[in-house]
Amino acid sequence: MKEPDFRRPELYLNRQLSLLEFNARVLEQARDPRVPLLERLRFLCISSTNLDEFFEIRVSGLKQAAEMGSTHVGADNRTPQEVLRLVSQRAHRLVEEQYRVLNDVLIPELADEDIRFIRRTRWNATQRTWVREYFEDALLPVLSPLGLDPAHPFPRILNKSLNFIVQLEGKDAFGRNSGLAIVQAPRSLPRLIRLPAELSQGANDFVFLSSIIHACVSDLFPGMSIKGCYQFRVTRNSDLYVDEEEVDDLLVAMEGELPSRRYGDAVRLEVAANCPPRLSRFLLREFELEEDDLYQVDGPVNLNRLMAVVDGADRPELTYPGFTPGIPAALQRASDMFKLLRERTLLLHHPFQSFAPVIDFIRQAAADPGVLAIKQTLYRTGPDSSIVDALVEAARTGKEVTVVIELRARFDEEANIRLATRLQDAGAHVVYGVVGHKTHAKMVLVVRRENGRLRNYVHLGTGNYHSRTARVYTDYGLMTSDPAIGEDVHRIFLQLTSLGRVARLNKLLESPFTLHERLLSLIDREREHAAAGGDARIIVKLNSLTEPRIIQALYAASHAGVRIDLIVRGMCCLRPGVPGVSDNIRVRSIIGRFLEHTRVMCFHNGGEPLIYLSSADWMERNFFRRVEIAFPLENPELRGQVMDDLEAYLSDDCQAWVLDAEGSYRRAESAGAVSASSQAALLERLAGQA
């Protein structure tokens, strides 16, 4: 039978629309009554933050392509102009749903739990007096209202800042009457203010900063009549551009480019739902936007600010129960990490298992007199990093410390510049990877002298060296003294810091050199096993799946009879369940308490299973424009552990969403009387907490 054409555009879902569908699944968590109430509010905030970044990066890129007249299309054969139109339609529905969930679901349920947002129309006399005093003491001294006239043009508006357009009537002291003014809310003040307990019904009554400004805006324009005051927010292009081949110092170039992020081209305008059309059109003209870029919202223009309630309301019964991450028994008994790793290889699954052993590994390396060198990649670390402290101490005590810092880690550029400077000041060798390729691999190499010989110790991960995200992202970390893996990591560090040809690696796969082609060959091998009548199975867990050649290979494998399970949290451009093409492919997405971040690839391989863990998603950028690694699990016990984890995800009927051939997601149907949650099962098994 002739093989179908797997390149047909209708076989591919659009990546941007797929990302919006992921955000819709996040928002659905805010409606799920099985999720604790304050966590539901947190999911609403996360959906807002995700959508901000979507506009700052994705929509801005589409707009640039459309403005340049680009006709470049993706595998789905849609032009940037077509995608922009579809994105606008889906995003408008998503925003409408966000505010419906806030106003109709969460606010009433929070009020039932004595967590209230007090509207200014319901302030009593004592509350009004307090608000007036707050305005005069905290707000009035720092506000600079700007009347619009020929001498006062429309001001520069900071990306995602809170602003108000005020409609005025009357003449001021100089006889001016432009009719309009702009008030910019100070960035230094919180957007939610807790009312004093003596003025409220409970400890968690809040007023919005926007409500206070609305109530007192007339004080900013004495003698003028206020006809309307409407909040608005503009989202700007936040993608940084640095021509790496034209700069001598990437760090200096990045420092120079960062301020432009605040005032990039506008891509979205949010206004209060009651803002008159005339004023909305005025703002659109000022920001050079179209009607499709206007989002009218029934509530605060930045939902993410509600996170202050999640973090500030002392109501632990309305959040997920706490847990203590597990520590494998071998680590509990070991005081010498190096001795333990000479005896066995360890695999940690965060956050179910603690990230502390990784920190301890680097701390011991920094303090151990036998350690000669520490080499590490850093993509995101977070503030006050214990790992960075250990590297600084190691450098100060004379050890050779080499750190490959990815300055271009999106939205962490400024923090990484400070990190690079701190490490350089301590005497560490700091490099910024390879021009044109982000360094996304997660590696630590410790070189130790033992009995007159050098031994390598290694940590490899699927996620960042960031102790905070290690508590909320699921990631694997492998710790080993395997000589072949240690030699591979040594060779990759030489690539990153020096010059030379592609190194031949023993066990690791590396982007942009071997990872893509090796995965294609492994998928094709499963296809051959199936075609020959043998068992063939592929299980893959990723954040995103978009690369066309990989998708075509999966289609061909499915067509030959390979059973394929894909656990893809976010973007997925593959259509499962298409007759004659992807009948044997199932796709599911897990959305729960923790952000699923592990990347796992399992191949049946004729009964000799191959399992790789990786820092890379199956996207074009990860295969061809980043330095990534995939590392094998050769220990049968560790392979079994990962297979048990994957089976938990595949049997999940509580937090799982199933993708159909039309590109729609539906909740997985329960197979029994009791729902199975993969994350709860892993907590119980690895951390002892159901």
pLDDT the model gives residue 249: 43
Instruction: Say how far apart CA 422 and CA 416 lie, in whole Å.
Output: 10
pLDDT of residue 248 exceeding 50: no
List the single range of 183-192, 497-506, 606-615 with lowest mean pLDDT.
Answer: 497-506
pLDDT of residue 240 exceeding 50: no
Cβ 295 vs Cβ 95: under 8 Å: yes
Instruction: Say how far apart CA 418 and CA 472 lie, in whole Å.
Output: 25
pLDDT of residue 678 exceeding 70: yes
Q: What is the pLDDT of residues 520-546, one digit of tens each?
A: 999 999 999 999 999 999 999 999 999
Phi, psi dihedral angles at 122 (to 5 degrees): -115, 10
pLDDT the model gives residue 252: 47
What residues does CATH 3.30.870.10 cover in the chain? 329-506, 511-687
Instruction: Say how far apart CA 514 and CA 630 lie, in whole Å.
Output: 10
Rg, the chain, Cα only: 27
As annotated, the active-site residues are 440
Instruction: Say how far apart CA 247 and CA 236 lie, in whole Å.
Output: 25
Q: What is the pLDDT of residues 644-660, one digit of tens each?
A: 999 999 999 999 999 99
pLDDT the model gives residue 573: 98
pLDDT the model gives residue 264: 79
Q: What is the pLDDT of residues 387-420, one digit of tens each?
A: 999 999 999 999 999 999 876 655 556 776 778 8
pLDDT the model gives residue 255: 45
Average confidence (pLDDT) over 53-81: 90
| CA 472 remoteness from chain centre | 11
pLDDT the model gives residue 689: 46
pLDDT of residue 243 exceeding 60: no
pLDDT the model gives residue 262: 57
Average confidence (pLDDT) over 193-199: 91
pLDDT range class, residue 676, cuts 50, 70, 90:
confident
Average confidence (pLDDT) over 216-242: 86
pLDDT the model gives residue 71: 78
Residue position matching structure tokens 């690696």 = 505
Torsion angle, alpha carbons of 90, 92, 97, 98, to 10: 110
Cβ 440 vs Cβ 622: under 8 Å: yes
List the single range of 166-170, 418-422, 521-525, 678-682 with lowest mean pLDDT.
Answer: 418-422
Q: What is the pLDDT of residues 25-64, one digit of tens each?
A: 999 999 999 999 999 999 999 999 999 999 998 999 999 8
pLDDT the model gives residue 258: 44
Show the tokens assigned to 121. Answer: 């129309």
Instruction: Say how far apart CA 212 and CA 119 lie, in whole Å.
Output: 10
Average confidence (pLDDT) over 574-579: 97
Residue position matching structure tokens 């009218």 = 296
Max CA distance (Å), the chain: 90
CATH number of 11-318: 3.30.1840.10
CATH number of 511-687: 3.30.870.10
Superfamily of domain 329-506: Endonuclease Chain A (3.30.870.10)
Average confidence (pLDDT) over 203-228: 92
Enumerate residues 6+ apart whose C-beta is below 8 A from 647: none
Cβ 76 vs Cβ 14: under 8 Å: yes
Average confidence (pLDDT) over 544-555: 98
pLDDT the model gives residue 70: 79
- Portion of the chain with pLDDT greater than 70, in percent: 92
Q: What is the pLDDT of residues 122-140, one digit of tens each?
A: 999 999 999 999 999 999 9
pLDDT the model gives residue 172: 65
Give the range with max mean pLDDT: 308-312, 346-350, 462-466: 346-350
pLDDT range class, residue 204, cuts 50, 70, 90:
very high
Cβ 65 vs Cβ 72: under 8 Å: yes
Start-to-end C-alpha separation, the chain: 50
CB count in 10 Å sphere of residue 275: 22
| CA 10 remoteness from chain centre | 29
Q: What is the pLDDT of residues 587-614, one digit of tens each?
A: 999 999 999 999 999 999 999 999 999 9
pLDDT the model gives residue 672: 65
What residues does CATH 3.30.1840.10 cover in the chain? 11-318
Give CA separation, 554 vs 524, 549, 551, 613, in Å: 8, 9, 5, 19
Average confidence (pLDDT) over 459-488: 95
Residue, of 630 and 380, whose pLDDT is higher: 630
Provide the whole-model pTM.
Answer: 0.92
Average confidence (pLDDT) over 661-690: 84
List the single range of 9-23, 378-392, 544-558, 626-640 with lowest mean pLDDT.
Answer: 378-392
Cα angle 229, 235, 238 (rounded to 5 degrees) comes to: 155
Average confidence (pLDDT) over 365-374: 96
Among 563, 620, 570, 635, CA closest to 599: 570
Cβ 299 vs Cβ 102: under 8 Å: yes
pLDDT the model gives residue 187: 86
pLDDT the model gives residue 177: 66
DSSP assignment, residue 277?
H
What does pLDDT average to over the chain? 91
Q: What is the pLDDT of residues 310-345, one digit of tens each?
A: 988 989 999 999 999 999 999 988 889 999 999 999
pLDDT of residue 247 exceeding 80: no
Phi, psi dihedral angles at 688 (to 5 degrees): 75, 25
